[in-house]
Every structure is written in C-alpha cells, then in structure tokens.
A and B are shown apart, each in its own frame.
Chain A
Amino acid sequence: MSNQRVVITGIGAISALGAGAGHNFEQALRGRSGIGMLELAGGRQRAGLPAAQIRYPLPELIKASEQALFDRNALLGWSAASEALQQSGIVPGDDLSADSGVFWGTGMGGATTVEAGYVDLFVEGKSRVRPMSVVAGMNNAAAAQIALRCQFKGTVNNYSSACVSSAQAIGEAYRHIHHGYAERVLAGGSEALLSYGVVSAWDALRVLAPANADDAARSCRPFSAGRSGLVLGEGAAAVMLESLESAHRRGATILAELVGYGASNDATHITKPDVEGQQRAMTMALRQARLDPSAIGYINAHGAGTAAGDLVETQSIRGVFGAAADKVMVSSTKSVHGHTLGAAGALEFVLTVQALTSGSIPPTAFLDQADPECDLDYVPLEARHGRVLQAAMSNSFAFGGSNVSLIVQRY
C-alpha cells in the first residue's frame, strides 16, 4: 500500500462571517462576530435566540432551472467547494477526473427541504410535496452536485456524524489519498438547518446560549466564566486535497500539508464529552503526523461555549500536551461564526490552515471573564500576528461521542 503525502491546494468557506475563505479568516482575526438575533423565514419564530445566520444573498452559482434541485445546504456546499476548486487550478473534466473524489460531511443535509415538505402536508393540508424533494433533501445531495460540477468521477463518500461530520470527511479523504485510492479529493462539509423545526429541537435540548442582553453578537463565549451554551450557525467549507505527486505534476501552489488525522468515540455517553475519548483522537493524530505535541503551535479548539465541553477539552489538551500545554495557543473561532455543526470541522480547519500559513492567530472573541478552571492560553480578544508555526491542530467533537483531530503542517 502506498503512502502518499497529502497536500492542500485550495480552500473555500462561507459562513455568517461572509463568503470566501480569506474573508472569513480576516473577520475571525478581527473578532468580528457574525452572530445576531435569529430571524427564521416564514411566520414562525423561536424568540430570544441568537444565531450565526447568513443574511446576505448567496453567490449566484447555479442556473435558475437548477434551483429546485438545490437545498440551501447544497448551495452553501457548492459555494465553498467551487472556491477551493478554483484556487487549486484544477479544471473540471481533465484527465485525472477518474482519480478524483468528493468526501463531504453534513449533520442533517437537506433537513429544511424535508421540513418544507412536512409543512406542505401537515400544516398547509396539501396532498403532495414538491417533486424535487427527494433529490434536494437527500443527505448526499451536496456531495453529488459538487461531484457533478467538478466532473470528479472517483469515490464520492458522505459522512454524517453530527458536529465532526466534515472533519471526518477531511480525515477520511486524507487516508484515501494517503493509501493511494485517489489522486485528489475535494473534502469538506456544509450545514443549513436554521429552520423552525430544527432550531426548536436544539432549543429543547437546552444547550443553546440565550442572547446576550447587551449585544446579541457577543452571545457565544467559549472558555469564558460566563459562557452559557452554543450558538447555532450555518455555512460550508472545503479543501482540495491532493497527493504531493499530483500537485507537483500540475505545478500547483501548495498551501500546507495534511499530516495527521485521529478519530475516536467516547462510548461513554450520548452527549457528555469525555476526556479520554478526546485524548485518543488527538494522540492518534499526533502519532500519525509523527509530531511531538510541542510542534503544535496553535489549536483551533472545538470550544462550542458549553460549560462542560470547554472544560473537558481543556483537560484533554492538558493531558495530551503535558508541559507543552502552557505554550500552545488555543482559540475557539465559534465565538464569531457560531457552531456550524456538520460544517464546523471543515470551516475551522480552513481557518487553521490560514493561521498556519499567515502566522496570524485568530482570537477567542468576547473572552473577557476568565474561567479559573479553563487555564490554557485561549488567545483572548485580540489576534496575534507574526507567529511562525510548524504545525497546527483542529479539534472537533460531536454528540454521539465522536472525536476528530486534524493536524496540518507547513509545506
């Protein structure tokens, strides 16, 4: 079995921070929050909740005749994927298309299309749903549309593991190329589930932060003493992963190298995070990368802003990093782009890659009240610039006990 090195030749992102990977990174560096009060389409509102909602018109990337085929999830997905594809310089339909795949993550896929169908049937009293409900609502819709448009005819896999979905997609894509099954994989994920039904379900679980009384933009405060839960967001992000050989053959610009992927399951509780489970994922990624923890200069934390989650992640990092834990910079960009669920791993990985390549570390915004129990360097409030990093880690943890850790290294 081959052991190909895997490099990143394109990145893309769209979130409440804006469209474009670079723009998302700039906003994250500035600590500009994309969070505001949730405004659901249609008449029903879930009052009092903040959300990281995309309020601007989405880039016009598909034809009017294709609209019915696209759930918002796939629209966001194609926005990020097409950006990554374009940056990589790969032309759809070239002679490597059979060795190119798409690995995509989403928590609930076309949930809003499914919900719209239920509204037609159960609320409006109609006897039928829109004809494209199946092809727009199916969980592989985004991946399939991406493959179709990129003319990537190799393996197309879908990952649905709640909040690690897209991190898992990237990690499995890494293994896919590493072991020689494909030359290139467009990997990432998307999530668009700010609908009345889905938000109500999250609200019922009592994990959502209430709106900050002074400023809704400040509602998600990871690692802060006053943190009160997560803030739902929507978005998508993608990376073009490629074997080093393929990138060299094309003369592609290499942004960074993906060197480590660790995945584990807590198998302890359906929602409660577990130190040992998280540590297994981080340790596996470090071992794969053949890196000592001290080589990691920055960790983009899962840091969703829940009381239990942020504390457990802190303890996990301490356990794995030992003395190096006091030196590593750790931040949660969820403070500004919210928790984009199935897209979160990819969005945060794209920010991590940019932190590594630029030497600028995005802060944990709104962290002005330290929690004595969360005692790492969370890069509070202000970005740090001019840092030379060898490698950086992105952590993602999920309901269901799934943990994923990705490590990217300078190339």
Chain B
Amino acid sequence: MTTSSLPTVIELLARSLDIDPASITGQTELESLGADSLTVIEVIFDLEEQFGIQVGDERPDLKIVQDLADQIDRRIAAGAVAP
C-alpha cells in the first residue's frame, strides 16, 4: 500500500455533501458531517468507480473518514496482488 485513498475520499465526501474539503480530516466522524448510511453507500460506489475496485458486501464499522479510506486501501492492495 504505497498511496492512501484518503485525499480522494475527502474530495468525494466534500463534493457529495457540498462542504469545504479543508474541513474534513481522517479523524472527522462521518456522522458529524451529516453523512448517513445512504451517503456513505453513494460515496463508496463512486470510490469503487474511481479506483476500479469492488468493495463487495463488506460492511465494516465506519465511524471516521479514515475508516472509509482504510477500507478502500485494503481493496486496492488486494486488487494489486490479484493475477
């Protein structure tokens, strides 16, 4: 895992919620941004498209923005070792 998806996660969240990306860090709680479960599903869909991955049916406990980035990073890493 050489690069983190965190900047992209922040960018997509900011666009989806129409807020300043500078107001979001990895430690920001998703709930405090007004991102409900449906918003997170949308953002994950867009991240999948962006990175060419499939998160699939995983439903990890996503509390902060970094949790979301970590999930995406794990998928990117898994995809990188795939044949």
Contact = CB atoms under 8 A, between A and B. Distances in A.
A248 B42 CA distance: 45
A65 B34 contact: yes
Interface string A229-262: 0000000000000000000000000000000000
Contacts of B16: 64-65, 68
Contact of A64 (B17, B38, B41): B17
Interface of B: 15-18, 34-35, 38-39, 41-42, 45
Contact of A68 (B18, B34, B35, B42): B42
The 7 closest A-B pairs by CB, nearest first: A64-B18, A65-B17, A131-B41, A131-B45, A68-B42, A65-B39, A65-B16
B34 to A, nearest CB: 7
26 contacts: A63-B17, A63-B18, A64-B15, A64-B16, A64-B17, A64-B18, A65-B16, A65-B17, A65-B18, A65-B34, A65-B35, A65-B39, A68-B16, A68-B38, A68-B42, A69-B38, A130-B42, A130-B45, A131-B38, A131-B41, A131-B42, A131-B45, A132-B38, A132-B41, A132-B42, A135-B38
A135 B39 CA distance: 13
B9 to A, nearest CB: 15
Nearest to B49: A126
Nearest to A67: B16
A65 B36 CA distance: 10
Interface of A: 63-65, 68-69, 130-132, 135
A131 B37 CA distance: 11
Given A63-B18, A65-B18, A132-B41, 10 more contacts: A64-B16, A64-B18, A65-B16, A65-B35, A65-B39, A68-B38, A68-B42, A130-B42, A131-B38, A131-B45
Classify the interface of chain A: helix, strand, loop or mixed: helix
Contacts of A68: 16, 38, 42
B39 to A, nearest CB: 5
A408 to B, nearest CB: 40
A63 B35 CA distance: 12
Nearest to B34: A65
A253 to B, nearest CB: 35
A64 B42 CA distance: 12
Contacts of B17: 63-65
A63 B34 CA distance: 11
Nearest to B14: A64
Which of B17, B35, B42 counts the most A-chain CB atoms under 10 A from its CB?
B42
Contacts of B18: 63-65
A130 B39 CA distance: 12
Contacts of B35: 65
A64 B45 CA distance: 16
Nearest to B17: A65
A135 B38 CA distance: 10
A65 B18 CA distance: 7
A69 B45 CA distance: 14
A149 B45 CA distance: 26
B26 to A, nearest CB: 20
A317 to B, nearest CB: 49
Contacts of B34: 65
A64 B12 CA distance: 12
B54 to A, nearest CB: 9
Nearest to B33: A65
A130 B42 CA distance: 8
Nearest to A135: B38
Centre residue among A64, A65, A69, A132 by max chain B CB count within 10 A: A65
A135 B42 CA distance: 12
Contacts of B38: 68-69, 131-132, 135
